[in-house]
């Protein structure tokens, strides 16, 4: 009986280890922040440098705020992370993508937008943070 309990416990620990690692990466405070500056603070962002090396492709006018396609590409060397924020959403931090060494810092995703707002992208490269934004007009409300 003890051997079976041990094997079951060991198997459970092995299977749950990836989920524990993911939970350690999850930044709950940043994703639950209700203001843009609170989300930035929770991500440990102090100073941002405006950069045209961050390319944002998003519609000028989104017909439906529930489905706004956003494409982001960073030409900044050593990009480690890309965060997408929308100031006028109930929770501004939409996503925070991490990139391993050698991964191309490019992503396409669909986001929800509550109302007309800027889509702000923050790129982390080394100890510096770079930013760019694009304004989107929402014609039909997407999230509340």
pLDDT tens digits along 63-79: 999 999 999 999 999 99
Domain count, the chain: 1
Distance separating alpha carbons of residues 82 and 97, to the nearest angstrom: 5
Residue 26: DSSP 8-state: -
Please answer whether residues 54 and 130 qualify as being in contact, where contact means their C-beta atoms are separated by less than 8 angstroms. yes
6 within a domain of the structure (yes/no) = no
Lateral strand order in the sheet of 54-57? 54-57, 68-74, 106-111
77 within a domain of the structure (yes/no) = yes
93 within a domain of the structure (yes/no) = yes
CATH number at residue 33: 2.60.40.2470
79 within a domain of the structure (yes/no) = yes
Look up the domain containing 123 and give its range.
29-138
Residue 58, SS3? coil
pTM, two decimal places: 0.79
**pLDDT, tens digit, for every residue of 111-127?**
999 899 999 999 999 99
């Amino acid at each position: 009986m003890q051997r079976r309990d041990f094997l079951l416990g060991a198997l459970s620990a092995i299977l749950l280890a990836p989920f524990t690692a993911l939970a350690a990466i999850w930044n709950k405070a940043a994703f639950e922040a209700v203001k843009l500056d609170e989300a930035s603070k929770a991500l440990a962002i102090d100073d941002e440098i405006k950069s045209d090396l961050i390319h944002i492709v998003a519609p000028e006018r989104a017909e439906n705020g529930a489905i706004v396609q956003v494409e982001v590409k960073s030409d900044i060397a050593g990009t480690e992370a890309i965060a997408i924020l929308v100031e006028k959403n109930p929770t501004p931090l939409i996503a925070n993508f991490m990139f391993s060494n050698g991964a191309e810092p490019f992503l396409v995703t669909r986001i929800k937008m509550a109302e007309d707002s800027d889509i702000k992208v923050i790129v982390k490269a080394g100890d510096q943070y770079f930013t760019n934004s694009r304004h989107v007009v929402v014609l039909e409300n997407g999230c509340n």
